[in-house]
């Protein structure tokens, strides 16, 4: 995976790429069984009918990928892309704001993983937080990455090829290729050899 510098995308509080009604229809208007069938035919990916995936061309799974039960995958305008032969465990939450969440091939996500590719502006005390908009940078995940159960990947993080993210870790920055990381925030504890 080519690593590019993640730059913030600034969005006003009322700036939206999808109209509210269209986004609602994509997220909630189609039965999950229909969404699973569309993703099987379009992407050749197996998506559980018990999963809620927003039916959008901005969300794609590579051939042979699997999304297990009770996961939620949704976007507010950015792309969500997983490469070939990825496995997304049960009870995951994957969300993109206006920036992209991109994962390579052979990525494995344990259960209860959160990938949140959006962040709110909140620093100004003279305005309500909800009025301050977003500063999305997106998330990049390389090839052959393993993310342990309960890990959290926050907006702006980059994970290199072959990295292993330990159970319950919080990834906030750049993880080098083939590093094994653990903790909150995630720190390198060893290397794959």
103 phi and psi angles, rounded to 5 deg: -125, 145
Q: How many CA atoms lie within 13 A of 109 on its CB side?
A: 32
Question: Do the Cβ atoms of 145 and 163 come closer than 8 Å?
Answer: yes
Indicate the burial class of 32 (C-beta count within 10 angstroms; 0-12, 13-18, 19 or more): middle
Question: Do the Cβ atoms of 191 and 179 come closer than 8 Å?
Answer: yes
Domain ranges, ordered by start, for the chain: 9-191
Position 8 pLDDT exceeds 60: no
pLDDT digits (tens, 9 = 90+) for 9-44: 544 444 444 466 776 777 777 778 888 899 999 999
Helix spans in 6-145 (H): 20-28, 32-43
Assign 131 to helix, strand or coil: helix
CATH for 9-191 is 2.160.10.10
The pTM assigned to this predicted structure is: 0.84
Q: Residue 7 has what pLDDT?
A: 54
Please report, in angstroms and rounded to a whole number, the separation of the first and last CA atoms in the chain: 20
| 140, two tokens | 């990049």
Confidence band, pLDDT 50/70/90 cuts, at residue 53: very high
**What does the pLDDT average to over 178-186?**
97
């Amino acid at each position: 995976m080519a690593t590019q510098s993640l730059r913030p995308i600034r969005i006003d509080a009322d700036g939206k790429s999808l109209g509210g009604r269209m986004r609602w229809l994509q997220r909630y208007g189609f039965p999950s069984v229909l969404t699973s069938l569309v993703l099987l035919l379009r992407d050749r990916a197996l998506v559980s009918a018990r999963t809620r995936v927003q039916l959008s061309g901005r969300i794609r799974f590579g051939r042979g990928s699997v999304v297990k039960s009770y996961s939620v995958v949704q976007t507010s305008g950015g792309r969500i892309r997983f490469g070939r032969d990825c496995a997304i465990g049960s009870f995951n939450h994957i969300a993109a704001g206006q920036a992209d969440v991109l994962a390579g091939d052979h990525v494995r996500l344990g259960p209860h993983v959160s990938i949140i590719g959006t962040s709110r502006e909140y620093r100004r005390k003279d305005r309500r937080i909800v009025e301050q908009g977003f500063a999305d940078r997106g998330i990049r995940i390389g090839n052959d990455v393993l993310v342990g159960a309960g890990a959290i990947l926050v907006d702006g993080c980059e994970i290199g090829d072959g990295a292993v993210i330990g159970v319950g870790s919080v990834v906030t920055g750049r993880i080098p290729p083939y590093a094994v990381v653990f903790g909150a925030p995630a720190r390198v504890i060893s290397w794959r050899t």
